Chain A
């Protein structure tokens, strides 16, 4: 065996692979699901509602300014409009009819949750909405999303760096970087 080959193998093994495995493994461990885009039970389109129709986010996600949850709207919220708006296309008509039928029967729609955080993270929507953080800051360009997708990686570093920037870059929101802000 040539000793040069040996050194190359050695460096590859210990110098690069191990650190790389550790760092990448870390990302994987905390559950990075950036780009997660589950199929929903109904083909609801944010690009139609929030984009073309320009509905305010909080019209549907009404708890965002008072609760830790933004809340997924109840069927009655859908029916506020869809009592009248029955759809223009066959596709739309069929799906809006499904909503109406579920509403009549009193059966909730089981949406697939897109943004999941571990249980030990106590994120609070109202804290961010109250301070005037745009929904898009974290959720991305929702008005252009047909099917909802996880925009940010939602890692702790992503949270912390934004919080930190508020203080250092003079954005002035005085976002805390204490551990107990989220972990308690």
Chain B
């Protein structure tokens, strides 16, 4: 045993000595046991927030956008801020599942399911806002280019808002497919251990008759790889297109070529922060410390540190270009951000997004779960304010000083924001109860990773290969595949 050398870099992805069956047991446990008090309290809280938001949205749709604090100068504020915020949150999920998959980052396996779920729910939250921000949301279907009897009158394919429609719906669809395909084998596991008939029936329908056939696994793996390949440029494109809502406009502070990369990085930044927030809660609540280890958190903290620094670079680049361009409107907009009536929002953004992540240079902080939790909350707040700063401070003082105006949100808008969090957590909590939160198949496939073999008879790898054909190749493969 002592001659077996395992690299220090290859720390086990799953801590604790768990067998395959134990993985299934532990992962399916939250589905099968009765919900605890914590869950019910959290669910009640989320549902209340959702109710508040639903009431606010109902009131707004029944009365008019005037129930918000917008005016003729500031035509978007909380609505689009929330939209971009949630889309951003939705990026980490796909990033973790697709990009890290393509990069063969095996540590993703224990967090990708919940990250993907988070993506789906965040995109749902995001999609609510373009819908309810419309003056006549009941006519939202007019943004679809369907054949009609108006001439036919199509849609305007030049509008970034229409690109959004396509990007968000594509992103949602592909993310959902990706997530669901990942779920199918695990649903089969849940099905095959289900005791009650109803459970079995539901999981039977949802698992598409999955039986673990290796022929299907083979295609499945190819398809999964393809989805990852499709989702990776997609995730970049979505936030690029969202950024084009602003970048293709003529408003100083919006009309910026740096926006696409800036938005994508910001989305990764905020998305990872939100994943971290959620996972820290989840690993505690459902006892997943074995699967979601401090190593996972540290890895994510590193991503947050890098993206946070890029975001900080983007902020300073904006200022530099505003000065360097010599454009008086552009220059004013950025000075106004830092010193104008919305300076408070700007400095919240800078301190949360640029300063706090720098603490992650310290390993102690990176490995301190409470510190990470607090930091991730700060980043969430900061990234919300980043979108608020971009949307509102650019609009409130643009070209003609005669139109300059201030913006104050109303209670309805705040309630809508609260409601979107309610929707998100309601969906997430239901997900925790109804679906396997860990990608069983994937965790099982890495459960031996960085760990000594479970079976004593497999201990000796130095035995001649002839005696056990294939053995040495397998073991070798496993060790090299992850280099």
Contacts and interface: CB of A to CB of B under 8 A. Distances in A.
Direct interface between A and B, CB < 8 A: yes
Contacts of B153: 156
B362 interface: no
Nearest to B144: A22
9 closest residue pairs by CB, A with B? A160-B151, A156-B150, A157-B149, A155-B149, A157-B151, A26-B148, A22-B146, A27-B149, A23-B147
Given A19-B146, A26-B146, A156 B151 contact: yes
B157 interface: no
A168 interface: no
Contacts of A155: 149-150
B367 to A, nearest CB: 49
A160 B144 CA distance: 21
Nearest to A22: B146
A128 to B, nearest CB: 18
Interface in B133-151: 141, 144, 146-151
A30 interface: yes
A23 B148 CA distance: 6
Give the bracket for the number of chain A residues in contact with chain B. 10 to 19
B146 A30 contact: no
A26 B149 contact: yes
Interface string A17-35: 0010011001100101000
Nearest to B151: A160
Interface of A: 19, 22-23, 26-27, 30, 32, 153, 155-158, 160-161
**What bracket does the count of chain B residues touching chain A fall in?**
10 to 19
A26 B149 CA distance: 7
B170 to A, nearest CB: 16
B152 A157 contact: yes
Contact of B151 (A27, A32, A161): A161
Nearest to A177: B151
Contact of B148 (A157, A158, A161): A157
Contacts of B146: 19, 22-23, 26
B180 to A, nearest CB: 15
A16 to B, nearest CB: 14
Interface in B100-157: 141, 144, 146-153
22 contacts: A19-B146, A22-B144, A23-B146, A23-B148, A26-B146, A26-B148, A26-B149, A30-B149, A30-B150, A32-B149, A153-B149, A155-B149, A156-B149, A156-B150, A156-B153, A157-B148, A157-B150, A157-B151, A158-B149, A160-B150, A160-B151, A161-B151
Contacts of A22: 141, 144, 146
A141 to B, nearest CB: 23
A160 B147 CA distance: 15
A123 to B, nearest CB: 15
Nearest to B153: A156
Nearest to A3: B209
B78 to A, nearest CB: 31
